[in-house]
Amino acid sequence: MVRLPENTQGAYTGGAITVNKYNIAVIGSGCGLMVMEAALAHGQSCALVEMRDMGGTCLNRGCIPSKMLVYPADMIRYAQEAEAAGLSYPPPEIDFAKIAGRMKRQIRVSKEIEQSLAEVRNLDVYRGIGEFTRPGAMKVTGPEGEEELEAARFVIAAGARPFLPPIPGLDTAGYITTDSFFGDKFPDRPWDSLAIIGGGAVAVEFAHIFSALGTRVTLVEKLQRLLPAEEEEISAFVTESFIRSGIAVHTSARILSVRMEYGQKIIESENMETGERSVVRADEILTAAGIRSNADLLHPERAGIQTNPRGFIETNAYLETSAENVYAIGDVNGKFPFRHKANYEAGVLSGNLYGNGRIEARYDHVPWAVFTHPQVSHVGLTEREARDRGLRVFVGRNYYSDIAAGIAMGFSKKRPGNGFVKIIAGEDRKILGVHIAGPHASDLIQEGTLALMLECTLDELEATIHPHPTLSEAFAEAALV
């Protein structure tokens, strides 16, 4: 049974199932918690439905636990590259149990969130899978059986799950996803060899992590290049760095089959450009070929909620779905699968529901950050996207080796991996896109994000005082075009 909040609109019993009524129901405890908090602050009765651990993908199976692994990998790579600054280190002693312990302790914050929610007034927490039964009503199937609820408003923040490519033999041979990796498939030690299916942000992040920890890593990507959402020169920059680090990269690769052979997992693929066939042998296979929306689990069609051909819930600029008083935020709507985007949408929606105004969600300045080695980030248009729109553009670049901070870090024009900032601007000199590759790219991109949001010009960016000597000076230098 669930605890009725003090200001619940009402409840009635139909047969053996109790139906509780609320002002708002939130599906998903990632970014959905922000809307829930806003609703509770305004005296609303609230239902929270969660089928997995509290905190959503980011806390439990994504951004945060992965960064607990990325940081040690970064330190290993920096030590290997320190010779450029006059330092040499022996190979590190890796305490993988300690690394894993730090990560798992951070994931356990989910339990603290759940415990704290148990004491919140006007809130009922439903543990299980929610399904719409009709407009305004949902059934939740969980450990306590089936429970039904109705709400005047629904906020769907149900997230997404790894997409599993239909590859012959994959199920039989076995594989892991980020979901199972951060669950029951987490290894006791780094694998000797790992094959990663995919070439996007998750794939290159895990390639960096395990390659640095000593695993022999192979990336198998169907598209022509890694990180297809990035500038082509940044994709090439990362690929070259991977090859120098011993990571094997197979692009334009159509996987023909997966099988087990003598205790190893075998991927057979064909290069779609040359027809050449390759065989990859690995102890484990990580599938990182994108995500699919969790919307299908909710049966949105029963509530009149439209999804696009890829299964993501369609929303307008106000995050409204096709059903009245139903909203969708985060990964479930398919607009940039990032927690920072999801939090932004939660803030916009909370303000529209409980604030004094009504604003549209904007997506033209959503930053991307990929925590591989080297780090990469971008915001706005790529050069190709701008030119494909028929725009005349200015393109400015500045390399880390051209500024004092980069020189101090050991970068030079002759050194492989020389980081850079690239700026795309329109004919009116307004900034259209910023792209960064190199150390601290994920931090540096915020200046580019602000520049896009404020519609800055190259001249305004160049005139901005940047502290010296810092990597941020690369922005001012790149704007001199």
Q: Report the pLDDT value the prediction gives residue 6, as an integer from 0 to 100.
A: 42
The DSSP result for 136-179, as a single string, is TEEEEEETTEEEEEEEEEEEE---EEE-----TTHHHH--B-HH
Nearest Cα neighbor of 160 from 347, 319, 311, 314 is 311
Nearest Cα neighbor of 260 from 242, 278, 284, 239 is 284
Active site residues: 468
Q: Report the pLDDT value the prediction gives residue 107, as an integer from 0 to 100.
A: 87
Q: Report the pLDDT value the prediction gives residue 143, as an integer from 0 to 100.
A: 86
Q: Report the pLDDT value the prediction gives residue 17, as an integer from 0 to 100.
A: 58
CA 186 vs. chain centroid, Å, equals 20
Q: Tell me the helix, strand and coil percentages in the chain, rounded to 5.
A: 35, 25, 40
Counting as low any pLDDT under 50, the low residues of the chain are: 1-9, 12-15
Q: What is the CA radius of gyration of the chain?
A: 24
Q: Report the pLDDT value the prediction gives residue 144, as an integer from 0 to 100.
A: 79
The three-class DSSP label of residue 346 is: helix
The three-class DSSP label of residue 14 is: strand
Q: Report the pLDDT value the prediction gives residue 1, as an integer from 0 to 100.
A: 34
Q: Report the pLDDT value the prediction gives residue 109, as an integer from 0 to 100.
A: 86
Residues in CB range of 441: below 8 A, 6 or more apart: 369, 374, 375, 376, 377, 419
Distance from C-alpha of 270 to C-alpha of 425, rounded to nearest angstrom: 39
CA 259 vs. chain centroid, Å, equals 30
Cis peptide before 374 (omega within 30 of 0): yes
Q: Report the pLDDT value the prediction gives residue 402, as an integer from 0 to 100.
A: 97
